[in-house]
A and B are shown apart, each in its own frame.
Chain A
Amino acid sequence: DAGVTQSPTHLIKTRGQQVTLRCSPKSGHDTVSWYQQALGQGPQFIFQYYEEEERQRGNFPDRFSGHQFPNYSSELNVNALLLGDSALYLCASSTGQGNYEQYFGPGTRLTVT
């Protein structure tokens, strides 16, 4: 049983560019949450997708957007990249039934130069 997978593992982008990160949830999970973890900080909630819609959102600008596909996989898009967007982006999957169990992927390390 594959756990949560994310791609790519590492990414280097230039300021102003756009980036797309991908996540496949654990088998049987239908909810995907995205987190940003800056160096030395804990993960910060970006948004959550359930039934292909954004169910909740953290305190992140509209430059951060996402999508969930019918197979429950998800994408995180960041436009107009800033140096401060450099971070580890974590995807977590769970079931949408009020279950607190949440499994994380290994993350995508984004570096903006």
Chain B
Amino acid sequence: DQQVKQNSPSLSVQEGRISILNCDYTNSMFDYFLWYKKYPAEGPTFLISISSIKDKNEDGRFTVFLNKSAKHLSLHIVPSQPGDSAVYFCAASAREYFNKFYFGSGTKLNVKP
């Protein structure tokens, strides 16, 4: 029962270009979505979030887009930097779930210098 899916296990991008990471979900109760970044031997670090009442949220080089009708969200990183190389997890929750988050399987981003 995978309610959050990241179908691309890996992505390779040239430094300075745009990185686009995708995430799909099936549960229409989800009303809050987050992206986490994870380096080896560390716990996931919060990156950016979006509420279901919005369709876009921007924070510096990071922008998350939400398409509720398609149950799809994406993370855009512009411009990509080598330090962005990490595993990115998409996560979703609902107010009724009290911070119980459902995670995707992650996308490993490699930004080449």
Contact = CB atoms under 8 A, between A and B. Distances in A.
Interface of A: 4, 31, 33, 35, 40-45, 48, 50, 55-56, 58-59, 90, 92, 94, 96, 98-107
Contact of B106 (A31, A42, A44, A94): A42
B102 to A, nearest CB: 7
B100 to A, nearest CB: 5
Interface residues of B, number: 28
Contacts of A31: 98-99
B19 interface: no
A94 B32 CA distance: 15
Contacts of B53: none
A96 B95 CA distance: 11
A34 to B, nearest CB: 11
Interface in B29-68: 32, 34, 36, 41-46, 49
Contacts of B41: 106
A70 to B, nearest CB: 20
B98 A56 contact: yes
A93 B95 CA distance: 16
A99 B97 CA distance: 11
Contact of A96 (B6, B36, B98): B98
Given A90-B44, A102-B46, A42 B103 contact: yes
Contact of A94 (B43, B95, B99): B99
A98 B95 CA distance: 7
